[in-house]
Structure 1
Amino acid sequence: MKTKLVILFFSIFLFTNCLPDDNNDITNQETTVIQWHLVNVSGGISGDNHSFEIDDVIWIFDEFNSRLIIQNNNDDDVLEDGLNSGNYDYFFINDNDDNLFLVIDIDEYGLITFSQDGEILTIDRTNQSTGNVADEYIYEFDKQTIVIN
């Protein structure tokens, strides 16, 4: 009899704890989006070095779908600003030295590094997994965290 009571109470406990909680309001959940804002591009044949306004070029890495979303609002065709607005597939390559290289669509884009505090992302196109490349660009991005309700 004692065993039956324990099983009954345990079953009731399990059943009540597995029911959905009606007090959780799904509409109040927050989503955090990390945006990388292009702030500087340097390098190239002529040794360019130019800065961008914070919202000119924004990269968002959708890690769940391996998609890079780019919002490029720069209208100056002379300035190097990376890729055009759009959605791109991406993945990373690790070399034997634990360096991380970004591949966008099927093209290797360059070496990825982060500042010590993780607030600055640098993509060095002169440094590829196969070796150094002359006359390419180095892109520097600032991290912006956006909370959406």
Structure 2
Amino acid sequence: MLLAQSCNGDDDAQQNSEPTLNTTWSLINVSGGFAGVDDDFESGIITWHFNNEASEITVINNDTSNAIHSGYASGTYTYEVITTPNDTTLVIGNTDLKITTLTSSQLILDEGMISDGFQYTFSR
């Protein structure tokens, strides 16, 4: 019985933790675009490290595959998060990415353009 109770406590702690961008995320899939891209990437090949204090994302893109689109090139980008009653948007330069999912283990960003936007799926 003690084992079952201790497992429940761990689950509660994970459910109560607040999801945050402020960590390193691995890009694992890019889909969408005019060409109908659906490319998977091994975890750790392309990472985005969010630094909330500096409002910067450091992208390390070590993809050497023939993917049509692997997200942003390596570099440091400034960002802003805009929250409205209807949605939350991550703004990187001139690009607005809707945050459609943010959990402790998954982040999904969507450019939202019907025919030529991309959706980026990350894991932690």
Shorter-normalised TM range: 0.7 to 0.9
Q: Which runs of 4+ in 1 moved over 2 A?
A: 75-79
Out of 112, 121, 126, the position equivalent to 2:107 is: 121
Instruction: Flag structure 2 segments of 5+ consecutive residues without an equivalent.
Output: 1-21
* AA partner of residue 141 (structure 1): F
Aligned to 1:37: 26
Aligned to 1:109: 96
Out of 95, 118, 121, the position equivalent to 1:137 is: 118
1:76 to 2:65 alignment: yes
Cα displacement string for residues 4-24 of structure 1 (whole angstroms, at most 9, x for unaligned residues): xxxxxxxxxxxxxxxxxxxxx
Cα displacement string for residues 86-116 of structure 1 (whole angstroms, at most 9, x for unaligned residues): 111100122341x1111113x133101325x
Is the CA contact (8 Å cut-off) linking 1:101 and 1:108 kept in structure 2?
A: no
Kindly name which structure, 1 or 2, has the bigger radius of gyration based on alpha carbons: 1
TM-score by length of 2: 0.74
Instruction: Flag structure 1 segments of 5+ consecutive residues without an equivalent.
Output: 1-32, 127-131, 144-149
Aligned to 1:4: none
Q: Identity of counterpart residues, as a percentage?
A: 30
What RMSD in Å do the two structures reach over aligned CA positions? 1.8
TM-score by length of 1: 0.63
Counterparts of residues 35-74 of structure 1 (less than 5 Å): 35-74=24-63
How many residues in Structure 1 have an aligned counterpart in Structure 2? 103
